[in-house]
Structure formats: C-alpha cells, structure tokens
C-alpha cells in the first residue's frame, strides 16, 4: 500500500515528564512525517498506585489539558497513559474518550484501548506482559485485556514506583526487561508504560523477544494515525507498523 503523502496532525495528552520525547521521535520516523503536539497534563502525585492513577486520568485533568489543544488543527487526540486509563475500567475509559471527543470534536482514544486494538492487529491471541508497575496495578491491565478475549500467559510486575523513575531506564535495561519477561507461549510481548522509552529500540526489542513487541508509546502513535485515517505500513517501527490493516 503506497503512502499517499498526507500528513497526520495528532495531539497527545501526556501526564508529567518521563518519555514524552518518544512522540516527536516517532513523528520524524514515520513517512510522511507527522505533525504532533504534546501537552503535559497535571496530577496530584506521580505514583503507580490505583488512587494516584485514577486521579491522574480524571475527566477534570483531561479537560484541563484539552483546552490547550483547541483550535490547534489536530485530527485526533490520545490520552497517553496506559495505567491512568485501565485502572478506571472500561466505563472509565469510555468516559475519558467521550470527554475528549466532546471537548475537541475529533476522534479520541487512550493507550489502553490502543493496546487492545494493536494485539488484534498483529493477530496475537496469547500475550506476555512486562509491566513496570506494582503487582496490583499490573493485574488490572491483565483484567482489562481479558475483556477483549486476550489470554495473558505471562505477567511480570517490577514495582517501579513512579513514572519519573521508569523514564530513566536506558536501552540496555529496556532490552533486558523484554528478554527476561518474555514467555514461550506468547504470540506477542506487551510493555505497557508510556513513561518507558522504546521508540528508538523497536527493532532491537523484537529481535530480543523473537516475536512482535508492543510498547505503550508505539501503540499510542499507531492509534493516532489510525484515528486520522492515515495509517499506512511503515518500516523500522516493529511488526505493528508493518502490518496492513
């Protein structure tokens, strides 16, 4: 499928500061390059706890961020926190999407929903999860995926307390994270934290795992292109981007 040369215009609402530089990096890597805007949203506490993440993904926080994207020319908007969407459950995610669509009058999604769609796109039925989160939060991600009949055959939780800490992990640590938390029965490996850098290492991650690897910032960007109607097969961004829907 030929890329027709239409540039996508995508807004990303990103809580705090950790690995947000993945988004402009991905925007430069896709062809044609994308036009993006990253808005940093506020929160009470940077913590991988259900309470803190629920507050972080509240409609109030999303509306606060969305006001900065009004009249910006974006065609789609993503709430780019996996955990601060799935901890609110399916009804909470629907509320987040509805809040953004009403505020900006463009299609919206969340990273958690992007994961569910991306697993289907790469034709994976069984997945392993390599989560930076504590066990109680990681188990909620497993429950979220199971709503979509995705079987989780491996769940690793590493108890990293904050997004800021996750954002400091470099290439070697992230590749080791993927290698050590893979599962032989999994069709794909999921790494669900937008605070974790991955955009520069997508090919290496799949080489280490020997299977499709889906990372939070990767699936968020893919979902943004999909919502714009400008998703075309790409090289160098992993199996997900190479797959034609």
Q: Is 135 found in the same domain as 14? A: no
Q: Do residues 109 and 228 share a domain?
A: yes
In this predicted structure, what is the pLDDT of residue 161?
65
pLDDT at 60 over 90: yes
Which letter does DSSP use for residue 48 in this model? S
Indicate whether 4 belongs to any domain: no
* 234 and 197 in a common domain: no
Asked whether residue 130 falls in the same domain as residue 17, the answer is no
- Segment 235-244 shows an average pLDDT of 94
Whether residue 86 contacts residue 150, with contact meaning beta carbons closer than 8 Å, is answered with no
Average pLDDT, the chain: 93
Both 97 and 14 in one domain: the answer is yes
- The answer to whether residue 2 is domain-embedded is no
Instruction: Name residues whose C-beta falls within 8 Å of residue 189's C-beta, 6 or more positions apart in sequence.
Output: 127, 128, 129, 130, 178, 181, 182, 183, 205, 209, 211, 212, 213, 214
Does 95 share its domain with 154? Answer: no
157, 182: one domain = yes
Residue 7 CB-density burial (10 A; 0-12 exposed, 13-18 middle, 19+ buried): middle
Examine residue 28 and state whether it is found in any structural domain, yes or no. yes
User: What's the domain count of the chain?
Assistant: 2
Q: Is residue 205 part of a domain?
A: yes
Mark whether 23 and 61 lie in a shared domain: yes
Closest CA to 225 of 39, 93, 81, 36: 36
pLDDT digits (tens, 9 = 90+) for 73-129: 999 999 999 999 999 999 999 999 999 999 999 999 999 999 999 999 999 999 999
- Which domain, by its residues, includes 86? 9-113+217-242
Residue 195 maps to which CATH number? 3.40.50.12500
46 lies in some domain: yes
- Same domain (yes/no): 222, 109: yes
pLDDT of 150 strictly over 80: yes
Residue 3 lies in a domain: no
Q: Is residue 209 part of a domain?
A: yes
Asked if 210 and 221 sit in the same domain, the reply is no
Residue 118 falls inside a structural domain: no
- pLDDT-derived band of residue 66, with 50, 70 and 90 as boundaries? very high
The CA distances from residue 203 to 105, 118, 210, in Å, are 35, 17, 10
pLDDT tens digits, one per residue of 5-54: 569 999 999 999 999 999 999 999 999 999 999 999 999 988 889 999 99
Q: Within a 10 A sphere around the Cβ of 216, how many other Cβ atoms?
A: 26
Is 16 in the same domain as 100?
yes
59 with 99, same domain? yes
**pLDDT for res 6:** 61
């Amino acid at each position: 499928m030929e890329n027709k040369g239409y540039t996508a215009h995508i807004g990303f609402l990103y809580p705090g500061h950790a690995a947000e530089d993945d988004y402009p990096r991905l925007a430069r890597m896709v062809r044609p390059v994308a036009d993006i805007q990253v808005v940093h949203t506020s929160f009470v506490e940077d913590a991988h706890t259900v309470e803190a993440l629920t507050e972080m993904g509240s409609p109030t926080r999303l509306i606060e961020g969305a006001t900065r994207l009004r009249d910006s020319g974006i065609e789609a908007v993503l709430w780019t926190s996996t955990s601060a969407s799935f901890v609110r459950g399916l009804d909470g995610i629907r509320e987040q999407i509805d809040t953004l669509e009403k505020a900006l009058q463009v299609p919206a999604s969340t990273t958690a929903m992007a994961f569910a769609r991306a697993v289907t796109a790469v034709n994976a039925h069984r997945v392993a999860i390599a989560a930076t989160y504590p066990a109680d939060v990681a188990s909620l991600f497993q429950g979220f995926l199971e709503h979509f009949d995705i079987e989780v055959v491996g769940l690793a939780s590493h108890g990293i307390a904050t997004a800021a800490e996750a954002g400091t992990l470099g290439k070697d640590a992230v590749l080791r994270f993927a290698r050590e938390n893979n599962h032989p029965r999994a069709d794909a490996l999921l790494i669900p934290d937008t605070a974790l850098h991955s955009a520069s290492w997508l090919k290496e991650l799949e080489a280490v795992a020997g299977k499709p690897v889906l990372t939070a910032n990767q699936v968020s960007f893919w979902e943004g292109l999909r919502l714009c109607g400008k998703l075309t097969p790409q090289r160098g961004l992993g199996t997900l981007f190479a797959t034609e829907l």
